[in-house]
Structure 1
Amino acid sequence: MTVFLDTSSLFKLYFQEEGSAEIDAFFAENSINTVLISSITVIEFRSIVWRKVRMKEVSSADAQEIIRVFTHDLSLYSIIAIDDTLLQLASQLIDKHGLNGLRSLDALQLASAVTARDQVTLYKTADRLLNDLFKAEGLPV
């Protein structure tokens, strides 16, 4: 099975929070041979980690370790590059779904997901809006 994970789902593999048990169970119960992520995930992941530090949910030392492990694991993921075509698609998706609340970084996630449509069996996100937009674009969640 090939899955696409947005940052909200991927992060749960590295930090125990609400929804982590579900994503862990998903990986334990399924034969997953490829995990696709958007290249924006690399930046968003770090942003989440440091937000957790600011919120006093994780120490700076633990944050650095989480980032180190994630960086080491990047070779395990297939990364969808952000290029001019993907940026154009993200712009079109904002025009299409902007009234529903689609914003810039989620538009890049959604564009990455749409671009991988022919490769992906299932899409996972912990973001309610992004999940709804995956469905609206006909992506299996």
Structure 2
Amino acid sequence: MDQTAAPAATYRFVCTVNGDSVAFNSASGLEVGYTTKERRDESGQWQVSTGQQEPLTISLRRGEPGSAKGVWAEWIAGAGQGERLKREVTISLLDESGAAPLVTWKVTNALPKEASAHDLDGDGTYEFEKFVLVGEQTTVQFH
């Protein structure tokens, strides 16, 4: 899906995996955190430093109609069969017009953890109600 095609009022988070984008209504867990280390130096003063980045768990909710297909369905099915399908994922928060990203998170070594579909209809269109992925590291870009 082209990012500009996302209805702005509803689907403002666009998630891209292997060039295939799906718009979602909400996202949580998009945060950057680091482990911390505390120690006393030679003079007895406390020093705090950051360590490695903490792993992420990101939840995306209410995907656009027809979202559970193609690259996404293959990625989920492969992970369920034990395949090691780590991907780079980008998640962009779009402006109100749906045309320009405000913030983009890049998640490295992401894997699908959970996926659920909205009530299924007989018309063959399935959308994500919830999609959870885990990742090893993220970077944030403000546009």
Q: Which TM bucket (shorter chain)?
A: under 0.3
RCO higher in structure (CA 8 A, sep ≥6): 1
Higher strand residue share: 2
Larger Rg: 2
TM-score by length of 1: 0.23
